[in-house]
Structure 1
């Protein structure tokens, strides 16, 4: 990565930070690109070099997180992975983002993530193979991914909306306990 690319990446980071700072104080729909740029101490021109709108800034944030999450899942050894490990990775990954996710939930913007996470709407999953669907047809994989994404998104939406969300390890144990009860019936 050359200096210009690093500067562009740093500008995108500052713009994201500025947007989240502003969303703590006012409604997303009322925030202007000018305000985001000023909060980031950048010009509007710099904003528009990277993003055509503030919605695309949110899409960028969602895509970056989802890419990092998928990369983290793919770094695990699939042959030794079980559902508990998937849950641990899931909750530990999203925990550091809890404040930003909570802001999005409070602004009714977390739905952006669901649309970005959807296997049908995103090419982020194109090469992703989760351990619970290594074998199967494209249709089976699509259904399992849709089921998984919807469930995980709803858990995030419920968990991180809280002012004091439970620690990741508590969430893992809660889900395992609940799923175990369901499977026994």
Structure 2
């Protein structure tokens, strides 16, 4: 990455940090591009070089966090992950993002990231040979992935909205227990 690309990436990072800092203080609808740029100690021109508006900045977060989640999954040498292993990766990853996610949930912004994240999620079955979700025709896989992504999304929305969410390991146990009950 050249110097200019590194500077642009750093500016995007600072703008994103500024947005989340402001979300702790006020409602998203009351936050302006000027507010974000000033909090990041950057010019509005710099903001507009990176993003069209604050919604694009929020969308960038969704895309960026999903890319990092996919990278976390790919770090596992064993691409034949069991469902339990996928749950562990899922809950551990999102636990690290809990403060940002909680802010988005509180402001009813988390749901707006779903259209950004869903298309990327559908590439999971191309990356991993996880039999619990990729067996079947393309149409069956599409339905299973839709069901899985929406289910995981709702779990995040419920789990991380709590004042004191359970630890990731506890969430894995809870889901595995629930799935075993469903199978019975």
What TM-score range do you get, normalising by the shorter chain?
over 0.9
Going from structure 1 to structure 2, the CA distance change for 1:127 and 1:151 (only over 3 Å counts) comes to closer
Scaled by the length of structure 1, the TM-score of the pair is 0.92
> Hey, what's the Cα distance between the residues in 1 that align with 2:94 and 2:122?
22
Displacement of 1:115 in angstroms is: 1.6
Gaps of 5+ in 2: none
Equivalent pairs counted in the alignment come to: 179
Between 103-112 and 128-137, the greater mean CA deviation after superposition: 128-137
Residue in 2 that maps onto 1:153: 153
Q: Which structure 2 residues correspond to residues 73-84 of structure 1 after superposition, within 5 A?
A: 73-76=73-76, 77-79=78-80, 81-84=81-84
Cα root mean square deviation, aligned? 1.3
For residue 128 of structure 1, the aligned residue among 124, 129, 135 is 124
The superposition leaves residues 10-34 of structure 1 with CA deviations (integer Å, 9 ceiling, x where unpaired) of 1001000100111111110110000
Residue in 1 that maps onto 2:40: 40
* Pairing 1:31–2:31 present: yes
Q: Indicate conservation of the 8 Å contact 1:37/1:43, yes or no.
A: yes
Gaps of 5+ in 1: none
Going from structure 1 to structure 2, the CA distance change for 1:125 and 1:178 (only over 3 Å counts) comes to closer
Q: Give SS of 1:78's match.
A: coil
> Hey, what's the Cα distance between the residues in 2 that align with 1:107 and 1:126?
27
> Hey, what's the Cα distance between the residues in 2 that align with 1:152 and 1:183?
18
